Amino acid sequence: MWGLKMKQTIEAMKAILSELRAADQFSLIDFNHNVRCWRDNLVSATPAQIEDAKKYIQTIHPNGGTNINEALLRATFILNEAQNLGMLDPNSVSMIVLVSDGDPTVGELKLTTIQKNVKQSIKDEYSLFCLGIGFDVDYDFLQRIATDNRGMAQRIFGNQETSAQMKRFYNQVSTPLLKKIQFNYPQESVSDVTQSSFHNYFGGSEIVVAGKVDTANLQHLESVVTATAANAELVMETLRDVEELDGFMKKDKYADPEFTKKLWAYLTVNQMLAERNTAPTAALKRNITKSILQMSLDHHIVTPFTSMLIENPEKDEIMLADQPKDPRRGCCSGTLGLTPNAPDNNKGIPPWANVTAVPVTSLLFTGVVVNGQLIGAKKEENKKLNTYFGKFGFYFKNKGLKVEIDTETITLKDGSYSIMLTWSDTGHIIRKQLLISVKKESNVTIRVGEEMSFMVLLHRVWKNHPVNVDFLGIYIPPENHFSPEARGLIGQFTSEPEVYIHNQRPGQTPEKPQATMEVKGNKLTVTRGLQKDYRTNRVFGTDVQCWFVHNSGKGFIDGHYKDYLVPHLYSFLKEP
């Protein structure tokens, strides 16, 4: 975590510290390659301690690496020690809040082992809450480890104000009113009850329990709720006439008579989704998934495993509504992407092609070049040899840094200094405010301060594929602060040109119509077709409709395609 995101996180933590109550006890742990404690034990939230903690937070600087396992075990050790020494009120609520923006890269890396270690250490004594900042973090893992330890996880979106999101989360869990809440019902009168035992109840939240009642053999519904408050053990008993409850639901003429049944189904599905997330075996996960699918179909609930068809009789169309997917699986909306192809004559594959030469607005980052090396498939298909990017070179001239990415390794060079990562591991490199984040067998993100970022995706083919080869794809978000002087195959399009498409007409095949494109004062014949977007599905890709420009982009790109060939991986384009 660094840059604006780090600054906002620090400000949020300082604001949270200011809201601690005098009776609260706390400590702070920061972790990268190492794990460091502000205090080795819990201290009271006095004004002096809070002020000292704020000063400590201000000194935290990113240093690469993420040792989640050791940090959580250290936090649990501090709480266990405080409990053993009698420092904690038996009725108090103790919690650990993990804030992370990346996957574990130091210490224990196996996620299942970390989950097991933390579970054994916490022993159901405390609650673990996880905040995953940005899209690089494994949010599914944070959900599993939090759910497994009486807590919950929440994603903090990097494209929104981090500070406000963290403070909203803290407000949700900062006022524990009850713990060990249990809803009890006579077993012979109810069945299929949703979750009825809860670890904590926080101010401003709610608890809902639903189940089936045997109305044929039951006149009254009885329940007993027990809980522990700060100063007392609470017991609340209720006894309601079943017909009275039915009458209550029918008072509102707009009330859905099936409301409680739908509510029960909704709670049950969500409960099963949580159980699936923490299922220890693949077989159990498959069985839970099957149950979720059946219930979602029976009760018309949209889940990650189902979709809903919406019919519009006025327009005679059917729309498919899916549950929103995890946004971290994509790069960002509106990214720039480039799929390389060799010239139509296929007389040879150009060795190096400039993607973008970037003099950005900030003087600190002036002089950045990105070049790609083209590789060919193992054999031709339909008398055409497909070409791909097999290597990328990033040269940050003012920093003297070079980054080389191929399908096997990621290498950072700074003069005689060199460090290499492989695709087989998740890892990070930080040098001169440049951050390289590697997601195992998935993607590499290069960030330069808050000014610019690049994402390189790895596409693996199955071993000994007869035709295809491993290749790379590059995606550049539109938020990058490029100047109007940015050049290159992608750089020239950071400011979109005006494009006018007209005169659509049948092509050589029905699925590939043609049209006339007017751009940059030229009239071009273009063909409609499908292109693959690999950001959400790196194996099969997602089909996206595009207009294809012929003759190696002549008339669409500035100059001739040969103008973008460079002699070396880190060469700049010649000045026009």
The distance of Cα 560 from the centroid of its chain, to the nearest Å, equals 40
Statement: residue 424 has pLDDT above 70: yes
Task: Please give the average per-residue pLDDT across 188-199, as a whole number.
Answer: 87
Structure tokens at 130: 């996880």
- Strand spans (E) along 462-561: 471-476, 499-505, 514-519, 522-533, 542-549
Is 0.85 surpassed by the pTM of this model?
Answer: no
Q: pLDDT (tens digit, 9 = 90+) per residue, 510-539?
A: 888 999 989 888 998 989 888 777 766 665
Q: Is 436 exposed, middle or buried (0-12, 13-18, 19+ CB in 10 A)?
A: buried
Asked if 152 and 172 touch (Cβ cutoff 8 Å), the reply is: no
Q: Identify the pLDDT of residue 319.
A: 45
Statement: residue 409 has pLDDT above 90: yes
Residues 6+ apart with CB under 8 A from 373: 351, 352, 353, 389, 390, 391, 392, 393, 569
Asked if 144 and 115 touch (Cβ cutoff 8 Å), the reply is: yes
Statement: residue 363 has pLDDT above 50: no
Share of the chain above pLDDT 90, in %: 16
Task: Please give the average per-residue pLDDT across 463-484, as a whole number.
Answer: 77
Statement: residue 566 has pLDDT above 90: no
Q: Which residue has the higher pLDDT, 564 or 395?
A: 395
Share of the chain above pLDDT 70, in %: 82
Asked if 472 and 464 touch (Cβ cutoff 8 Å), the reply is: no
Most confident by average pLDDT, 114-128, 166-180, 307-321, 379-393 = 114-128
Model confidence band, residue 49 (pLDDT cutoffs 50, 70, 90):
very high
Task: Please give the average per-residue pLDDT across 113-140, as a whole number.
Answer: 86
Please tell me the distance from the alpha carbon of residue 285 to that of residue 116, in angstroms, as a whole number: 18
Q: Identify the pLDDT of residue 446.
A: 92
Instruction: Give residue for tokens 């992370």.
Output: 100
Most confident by average pLDDT, 91-95, 479-483, 494-498, 540-544 = 91-95
Task: Please give the average per-residue pLDDT across 562-572, as a whole number.
Answer: 83
Q: Is 267 exposed, middle or buried (0-12, 13-18, 19+ CB in 10 A)?
A: middle
Could you tell me which of 242, 150, 160 has the C-alpha nearest to residue 199?
150
Please, where in the chain does CATH 3.40.50.410 lie?
Answer: 3-174
Asked if 135 and 158 touch (Cβ cutoff 8 Å), the reply is: yes
Q: Identify the pLDDT of residue 338.
A: 39
Task: Please give the average per-residue pLDDT across 435-448, as a whole number.
Answer: 90
Distances (CA, A) of 306 to 197, 303, 537: 29, 5, 18
DSSP 571: P
Task: Please give the average per-residue pLDDT across 485-492, as a whole number.
Answer: 76
Please tell me the distance from the alpha carbon of residue 335 to that of residue 548, in angstroms, as a whole number: 18
Distances (CA, A) of 152 to 138, 172, 293, 427: 14, 11, 24, 26
Asked if 375 and 470 touch (Cβ cutoff 8 Å), the reply is: no
Q: Identify the pLDDT of residue 232.
A: 79
Statement: residue 561 has pLDDT above 90: no
Model confidence band, residue 576 (pLDDT cutoffs 50, 70, 90):
low
Asked if 102 and 62 touch (Cβ cutoff 8 Å), the reply is: no
Q: pLDDT (tens digit, 9 = 90+) per residue, 242-299?
A: 777 777 767 776 667 778 888 899 999 988 988 888 787 888 888 988 898 888 888 8
Please tell me the distance from the alpha carbon of residue 92 to that of residue 83, in angstroms, as a whole number: 11
Q: pLDDT (tens digit, 9 = 90+) per residue, 201-248?
A: 988 888 999 998 877 777 777 888 888 888 878 888 888 887 777 777
Statement: residue 136 has pLDDT above 80: no
The distance of Cα 393 from the centroid of its chain, to the nearest Å, equals 26
Statement: residue 1 has pLDDT above 60: no
Please tell me the distance from the alpha carbon of residue 99 to that of residue 162, in angstroms, as a whole number: 12
Mean pLDDT of the chain: 79
Other Cβ atoms closer than 10 A to 509 = 9
CATH code of 3-174, in short, is 3.40.50.410
Of all helices (H) and strands (E), which one includes residue 51?
Answer: helix 47-58
Other Cβ atoms closer than 10 A to 254 = 4
Asked if 213 and 196 touch (Cβ cutoff 8 Å), the reply is: no
Model confidence band, residue 343 (pLDDT cutoffs 50, 70, 90):
very low
Q: Identify the pLDDT of residue 402.
A: 94
Statement: residue 323 has pLDDT above 90: no
